[in-house]
Chains A and B, each alone.
Chain A
Amino acid sequence: MAVIFSKPKALMDATLHYCPGCTHGIVHRLVAEAVDALGIEGRTIGIAPVGCSVMAYDYFACDMIEASHGRAPAVATGVKRSLPDRVVFTYQGDGDLASIGLCETVSAACRGENITVIFINNAIYGMTGGQMAPTSLVGQVTQTSPYGRDAKTQGMPIRICELLASLDAPAYLARVAVNSVANVRKAGKAVLTAFRNQVEGRGFSLVEVISTCPTNWGLTPENACRWVEEKMIPFYPLGVYRDKAADGKEAAK
């Protein structure tokens, strides 16, 4: 019988602990597919964050490091500067990357650190039980915004791709979603580009993945995907915010 679908080699044969309908599993797979496609598993080192994907180190087959909350880009910098020919990626959530670790994120991007950052934006703190994230939408009800996020007192959500696009150094910034088959395909391409950029030495690449959290959003998986389409994407427009390779800026040098 022909095998038409199989697990990427760069994923361990482990049962993921994620909730039903959570899109972490899809993104893990996209990362593993990119690693397989480029044949870089043996020289890839991943950095797991603090958050729902804290145990990502058990799922990826490459060498893995667990970082403290928000510091993955600094840890990745230390690894990359020690072993410049290795491929180093961080996998971070919105609280990790856009709140407590914002300084590390912006600074690594500003240095043009040659690493790949996979940023899961699901507008909520999942692991601690559904608190407001820096990316929670205005009006969104969470455990710590029980009356809905109030822009007056809790501020506006942060758009990371747009923020980082104000910097000169980043090589690639893209926002994708994984709420539909078509979007998953596009997301896969973006993740692959972000890894290929590093292999080719282009510098800092970040893919923001609009993800779901059915458990803490209080929605069914299907409705969660719909919520992404109707609420998240209008505020967080999908697209490529920076692509130096495509712009031919590199070639023009």
Chain B
Amino acid sequence: MKGNEAIAEAAIRCGCRHYFGYPITPQTEIAAYMAKRMPKIGGTFLQAESEIAAINMVYGAACTGRRAMTSSSSPGISLKAEGISYLAGADLPALIVNVQRGGPGLGGIQPSQSDYFFATRGPGHGDFHVIVLAPASVQEMADLTRCAFELAEKYRMPAMLLADGTMGQMMEPVVLPEEAVDPDDVMKGKTWTTTGTGMKRPHNIVNSLYLKPDELEKTNLERFKRYERLAAEETRWEEYMMDDAEICVVSVGITARVSKNAIVECRRRGVKVGMIRPITLYPFPSAPIEAAAAKVRCFLTVELNMGQMSEDVALAEKCARPVRKCNRVGGMIPSADEVAAAIDRIAKEGR
């Protein structure tokens, strides 16, 4: 199964019946899959007039408590920024998939991780975050889709699946959960939704407008308390050959896969190198990186951008160790040989 299709099928199996999107490479398989499946299972696939409309349709569906999603690639996510900010401001759960391509501007259509800052700092105006998950296999494309919906609902905030084009296009075996979530069940227990009062309760209002500054401040403070809880309870990462590592690679998505090959190769030559692969990018796994700083002598970030995540690594380990970069941009992907060479250079420095 292709990574993009795994996202779509996983979303359906966890009760998502509302997909709104606009075509853009390299994520169109998600829309195509939804267009095929949704009409057959009583769901909605709607090709919106624009990315802006699509995210606002997601906003409307989220107001009713439904699991709703949209997907796009980098330039389209820029257009969705307004809607994502409103989702965050109204505390609405929703899933936004970004299968990144090279930028800025129209950029290219080949894989990239250059929306890292945009996703992790807050994709839109205002003080807010979205949950950001970075899959590194087709299996994780499926697993993290489900995880994104669940976390979004638990913390009442939008979640973004931040994949690179390679993850979307590649095929790997994937195991999907057999039991399916009932799309009506996910609406239950949400007291804040606008589904009609039924003349049984006062009206609910979904809103992000607070004209009184003290009230608006209160909503911001409350939201950031939730972000703290999210960071404490939901931060995820994978450690690979870190037990005796002297060099720590930090990488996500396709570059983490390439790095694994490079690490195996370098280990064969006796270089003690391991990897920390963040799975949640927001919240960022700062604690394991800070802990690693006590035993490794150098970090190496491998990214498809100019080194955006390397700043988070340096912040996490409080600049205790140097952070070197191995990066390619514009749709280029470093080969395992390139990464191994970068590791070897650090290994030689140490001698």
Given contacts A75-B56, A103-B49, contact A81 B196 (CB under 8 A): no
- Name the one of B46, B56, B86, B199 contacting A104, with C-beta atoms under 8 angstroms: B56
A78-B60, A107-B49 as given contacts; A44 in contact with B196, CB under 8 Å: yes
Q: Do B60 and A86 touch (CB < 8 A)?
A: no
Produce 1/0 per residue, A36-74, CB < 8 A to B. Answer: 000001111101000000110110111111111001001
Q: Does A79 lie at the interface of the complex (its beta carbon under 8 Å from any beta carbon of B)?
A: yes
Contact across chains for B60 and A77 when beta carbons are under 8 A apart: yes
B193 CB to nearest A CB, Å: 8
Check if A78 sits within 8 Å of B68, measured CB to CB.
Answer: yes
Shortest Cβ distance from residue A138 to the other chain B in the assembled complex, whole angstroms: 29
In the complex, which residues of chain A have a beta carbon less than 8 angstroms from the beta carbon of B50?
A: 103
Q: Give chain B nearest CB distance to A21 CB in angstroms.
A: 23
Chain B, 53-79, CB within 8 A of any chain A CB: 53-54, 56-64, 66, 68
Least Cβ–Cβ distance between A85 and chain B, in angstroms: 9
Alpha-carbon distance A86/B60, docked complex (angstroms): 13
CB–CB B57/A81 < 8 A: yes
- Is A75's CB under 8 angstroms from B49's CB? no
B205 touches A83 (CB 8 A): no
Tell me the complex Cα distance, A2–B200, Å. 29
The contact string, 1 if C-beta is below 8 Å from chain A, for chain B 229-241, is: 0000000000000
CB-CB under 8 A from B64, the residues of chain A are: 78-79, 82-83
**B343 to A: closest C-beta gap in Å:** 47
Partner of A42, one of B52, B90, B197: B197
* Interface pair A78/B207, CB less than 8 Å apart: no
**A74 contact from B56, B198, B204, B206, Cβ within 8 A:** B56
Minimum C-beta distance from B347 to chain A (A): 52
Do A104 and B49 touch (CB < 8 A)? Answer: yes
Q: Are B56 and A63 within 8 A (Cβ)?
A: no
Contact between B52 and A82, CB atoms less than 8 A apart: no
> What's the minimum C-beta distance from B167 to chain A, rounded to whole angstroms?
27
Q: Are A41 and B199 in contact (CB under 8 A)?
A: yes
Residue from B20, B60, B61 having most chain A Cβ neighbours under 10 A: B60
Check A43/B60 contact, CB under 8 A, given A78-B68, A103-B50. no
B residues in contact with A68, CB < 8 Å? 56, 82-83, 86
CB distance from A241 to the nearest CB of B (A): 22
Residue-by-residue, is A225-247 near B (CB-CB < 8 Å gives 1, otherwise 0)?
00000000000000000000000
CB within 8 A of A62: which of B54, B58, B86, B203?
Answer: B203
Give Cα distance in the complex from A47 to B57, angstroms: 12
Q: Does A76 contact B (CB under 8 A)?
A: yes
Find out whether the CB atom of A74 lies under 8 angstroms from the CB atom of B60: yes
Give the chain A neighbours of B197 by CB distance below 8 A: 41-42, 61-63
Q: Which residues of chain B have C-beta atoms less than 8 A from A61's C-beta?
A: 197, 203
- Nearest CB of chain B from residue A8's CB, rounded to whole Å: 14
Which residues of the partner chain A approach B83 to less than 8 Å between Cβ atoms? 68, 71
Find residues 191-248 in chain B having any chain A CB closer than 8 Å to their own CB. 194-200, 203-209
Instruction: Tell whether, in the assembled complex, residue B52 and residue A65 are in contact, meaning their CB atoms are under 8 Å apart.
Output: no
**In chain B, what residue has the closest Cβ to A58?**
B205
Residues in chain B near residue A82, CB distance under 8 A: 18, 44, 60-61, 64, 66, 68
A81 and B44 in contact, given A64-B205, A75-B63, A103-B53 (Cβ under 8 angstroms)? yes
Closest to B86 in A: A68
Not counting A41-B197, A63-B205, A78-B58, a sample of 19 additional A-B residue pairs whose C-beta atoms are within 8 angstroms of each other reads A42-B197, A42-B198, A42-B199, A43-B196, A62-B203, A63-B203, A63-B204, A64-B203, A66-B206, A66-B208, A67-B59, A71-B52, A74-B52, A74-B54, A75-B56, A78-B56, A81-B46, A82-B60, A103-B53
30 interchain pairs, CB-CB under 8 A: A12-B203, A42-B200, A47-B60, A54-B209, A55-B209, A61-B203, A63-B194, A64-B205, A65-B60, A65-B194, A65-B207, A67-B59, A68-B82, A71-B52, A71-B59, A74-B52, A74-B57, A77-B46, A77-B57, A78-B18, A79-B61, A79-B64, A80-B60, A82-B44, A82-B64, A83-B196, A103-B50, A104-B49, A106-B49, A107-B49
9 A-B pairs with the lowest CB-CB distances in the bound complex, closest first: A78-B60, A74-B56, A63-B194, A107-B49, A78-B57, A75-B60, A42-B199, A71-B56, A78-B61
Please give the residue numbers on chain B whose beta carbons come within 8 Å of chain A beta carbons, in ascending order: 18, 20, 44, 46, 48-50, 52-54, 56-64, 66, 68, 82-83, 86, 90, 194-200, 203-209
